[in-house]
A = this chain, B = another copy of it.
Amino acid sequence: MFQLLRTHIEKRVRLTDEEFESITRYFSVKKLRKRQFFLQEGNVAKHIGFVNSGCLRIYTIDQKGAEHIIQFGIEDWWVADLNSYLTGQPATYNIDAMEDSELFLLEKTARDKLLDSCPKMERFFRILIESNYVATRQRIVDTLSASAEERYLKFIRTYPKLVEQIPQNQIASYLGITPQSLSRIRKELSGRQPA
C-alpha cells in the first residue's frame, strides 16, 4: 500500500518498521478521477499530497485566461499550494488530475503533530524541500536564459516519460509558450534532426 512512500522517505532518513507504521497513520488515501480538482484557486489548501500513482498539474490562470503550468506531479512527487497550506491564505494555484490518480494526503494539523512527535520527519521535510528549492531555482535559470526551443529540448531530456504521457498543449503551458509556438518549434526541429 504505502511501499512507494516508504522508499521515498527512506531515501532521506532511515525508519524502523514501527516508525513507518506510525507515520502512515497521519496520512489518508484519496483517489482522483481524470480532470478532478485536488485544489481550486481561492480555497484554502488543507492538505499536501504525495502522488502514489497517476499525474497531476499545478497551474495558475492569468488575467487573460491563459493557464500556466508551474509543475507536473507524477508518481513519487508531492503536490501542494505550499503557501496556502502553510499560511491559511486562499490558494493562488489550481491542482487537478491529468489522469486517474491516487494520493496520500497529509492534513495541516496532522503534519504539525507528525513534525513534533517525529524529528526524523522534520528532517525528512527539510531535506525534501531543500532539493525542491534547488530544482525550482534551476528552472528560473532555464526560463531566463534559454530560448523556447532550448527549454523544450531540455524538457524532453528531463522528462522523457511525461512527453509521451501528456498532451503537447500542456507542455507548451509548462514552457511558457503557446501551443502554436511549440508546434512550430517541433516542425523546425524535425526538419533539422530527422528521426
Contacts and interface: CB of A to CB of B under 8 A. Distances in A.
A186 to B, nearest CB: 20
Interface string A135-148: 01111110111000
24 contacts: A62-B145, A71-B137, A82-B133, A83-B134, A83-B138, A86-B130, A115-B123, A119-B119, A119-B122, A122-B122, A122-B123, A126-B126, A126-B129, A129-B129, A129-B130, A129-B133, A132-B133, A133-B136, A136-B136, A136-B137, A140-B140, A143-B143, A143-B176, A145-B176
Interface residues of A, number: 31
A60 B141 contact: yes
A66 interface: yes
Number of copies: 2
Contacts of A139: 140
Contacts of A57: none
A138 B122 CA distance: 24
Contacts of A141: 60, 68, 70
A144 to B, nearest CB: 4
Interface in A128-176: 129-134, 136-141, 143-145, 176
A125 interface: yes
Contacts of A70: 137, 140-141, 144
Interface in A53-70: 60, 62, 66, 68, 70
Pick the 5 closest A-B CB pairs, nearest first: A144-B176, A126-B126, A83-B134, A62-B145, A136-B136
